[in-house]
Chains A and B, each alone.
Chain A
């Protein structure tokens, strides 16, 4: 074959060619009646695939996530055309790409009528208000499916819409905490560690992905099998249990409660993250860069492990722990990893990487967000991109989570101000006149 496999992949997945290819969900319409991350991200994944996603927020101030940003610092302006002096916090960043922004007050009957009108013309609704709220307002699945039986209604939340805990509110870290994720993350007590949060709302974003998958699967079934919509629910804490199934099986079979094992690995050894003694940027003024480096070292096969031990001049350990069964024991790991750290004490993570790579030992330096942002690899593949956003200018954004050769997902804009698409959506789908819209705006319905 003329083209190498690498060239072939680069050709079919090239992010520069994405806008010359069709969108897989073109012509599908979803309403996103969502806030924070769990619901919004779910709808966002559909918007990346080309669905017309209409995000409905409360008028003027928008949803609460617009008002969250690290240390209250970075924001993009304006929040809405009425509030140019206020900005949207970057917490809103990852969950609202490509959407159309409509402002509607759900609490008002006129607002509920608009939602109904839109839902009748949509393939689905993504919603994450407290379970039962939309049903009470007359815009839940029971009511919407009367007029649109093909509607796919995805509710996402914490503890689910039924069961003794159904009334409990939930957030990402509550899902992590009560789902069991904290209990297995972080250093064990004897190493001075606590149960630890995983950064950045992961149960929300990952939960949104699960929801999006469920919607796509249901759409396949609707369009190819039944012609019927569906009422679906995704519980964030349940997602954690689905995740931790191996820990749960261990408890179920043996009564063992998996604990934290820090940056080592309970199942594979050597396969852990160790500290290098030196910072890669000793002259930086940013404390983040003055921190010592860390690197993942992976040498779990016997031959690789022997090679690694030879490299750090600890052949004695190679002999002592010649088999994986020996290496994987807790005591062994407590001896092996400090020995590797002793070797790395006078090195930066790059120096350690170069030596390990030369010896053919798998490794990966722990990169911070600046180092990741500057990797050619991620920009070349479109996993990070400088987005020429029509509203906010030159912003760096994450790309889609996966690549498709023929009908790829894509990002067109990061997000828009509150109500930016009111005229477009209400004119196109509800047939409202300009006068009618002005009235609704004056009454704070939109």
Chain B
């Protein structure tokens, strides 16, 4: 497959140096004048966006940057650039170190069926541990 170029694009900003695509999310960059940093190679660019169109830049510049891209990935979908300090932080509903996983007990510590079950965990279409009102123990 021939390599596709995104150099002509505005909001999908392909870094002239490392070719990583920086996603200049529309609500931060729709109208923007300042410096941003490529998430792939940390190069600083002065850019100007007006109504979603990149009207100036990217011109090489010196740091610090004003705003980070919303997200970045390489053309072959490698996403290792998406991390703190490289792209804007994501949204959190909880503490960042509290990962969401299957949970069988809720914020009050009582049983709740919020994790995967197996056929053996069921009574009809209800979870056995809920029917019995006990903490969850996997069947078998």
Show the binding face of A for B, using Cβ within 8 Å.
70-71, 73-78, 80-81, 84-87, 194, 284-288, 386, 389-396, 416-417, 419-420
B76 CB–A CB distance under 8 Å: no
- B94 interface residue per 8 A CB criterion: yes
**Separation in Å of the A213 CB from the closest CB of chain B?**
33
A84-B122, A85-B117 as given contacts; A286 in contact with B94, CB under 8 Å: yes
Instruction: Tell whether, in the assembled complex, residue B100 and residue A394 are in contact, meaning their CB atoms are under 8 Å apart.
Output: no
Chain B residue with minimal CB distance to A70? B93
Per-residue contact bits, chain B 97-133, to A (CB 8 Å; 1 contact, 0 not): 1101000001110111111111101101111001100
Given A74-B100, A78-B125, A285-B97: A393 in contact with B117 (beta carbons within 8 A)? no
If A74-B100, A76-B113, A81-B122 touch, does A288 touch B130 (CB 8 Å cutoff)? Answer: no
- Asked if B77 CB lies within 8 Å of chain A CBs, one says no
Known: A78-B127, A386-B108, A392-B130. A286 touches B92 (CB 8 A): yes
- Alpha-carbon distance between A387 and B91 when the two chains are bound, in angstroms: 29
Closest to B124 in A: A81
Separation in Å of the A373 CB from the closest CB of chain B?
A: 9
B106 touches A288 (CB 8 A): no
| Interchain CB contact under 8 A, A84 and B117 | yes
A392→B124 contact, CB < 8 A: no
For B89, B95, B125, B130, which residue has the most chain A Cβ atoms within 10 angstroms?
Answer: B125
B87 to chain A, nearest CB (A): 16
Contact between chains at A391 and B130 (CB < 8 Å) = yes
Complex CA distance for A211 and B17, rounded to whole angstroms: 58
Q: Given the known A-B contacts A194-B27, A286-B95, are A393 and B112 also in contact in the complex, defined by CB atoms under 8 Å?
A: yes
**How far apart sit A418 and B108, CA to CA, in the bound complex (Å)?**
27
Q: Which residues of A contact B118 (CB under 8 A)?
A: 84-85
Q: How far is the CA of A416 from the CA of B127 in the complex (A)?
A: 11
Contact of A77 among B92, B95, B117 (CB under 8 A): B117
* A73-B114 Cα distance, complex, nearest whole Å: 10
A86 to B125, CA, bound (A): 12
| Chain A nearest Cβ from B66, distance in angstroms | 15
Q: Are B96 and A393 in contact, with the CB atoms below 8 A?
A: no
Smallest beta-carbon distance A154→chain B, Å = 29
Q: Which residues of B contact A194 (CB under 8 A)?
A: 27
A419 to chain B: closest residue by CB: B125
Q: Which residues of the other chain, A, contact B89 by a CB distance below 8 angstroms?
A: 287
Complex Cα distance A80/B122, Å? Answer: 10
Q: A78-B125, A81-B125, A391-B125 are in contact. Are A71 and B113 (CB under 8 A)?
A: no
The reply to whether A395 and B126 form a contact with Cβ atoms under 8 Å apart is no
Return B99 CB to nearest CB of chain A, in Å.
Answer: 10
A417 touches B100 (CB 8 A): no
Query: In the complex, what residue of chain A is closest to B130 when comparing beta carbons?
Result: A393
Whether A391 contacts B126 in the complex (CB less than 8 A), given A73-B100, A285-B96, A286-B92, comes out as yes
**Closest Cβ–Cβ distance, residue A424 to chain B (whole Å):** 11
Residue with the greatest number of chain B CB neighbours at <10 A, chosen from A85, A389, A390, A393: A393
Q: Report if A390-B108 is in contact (Cβ < 8 Å); known contacts: A74-B100, A85-B118.
A: no
A392 touches B113 (CB 8 A): yes
Q: What residues on B are CB-neighbors of A80 within 8 Å?
A: 125
Given contact pairs A287-B96, A392-B114, A393-B110, a sample of 19 additional A-B residue pairs in the complex whose CB atoms are under 8 Å apart:
A76-B112, A77-B115, A78-B122, A84-B119, A87-B114, A285-B96, A285-B98, A286-B95, A287-B92, A390-B131, A391-B113, A391-B126, A392-B127, A392-B130, A393-B106, A394-B111, A395-B112, A396-B106, A420-B125
**Cα A390 to Cα B108 with chains together (Å):** 17
Q: Provided the pairs A71-B93, A286-B92, A286-B94 are in contact, do residues A392 and B117 lie with their beta carbons within 8 angstroms?
A: no
A74: B residues at CB distance < 8 A = 100, 114
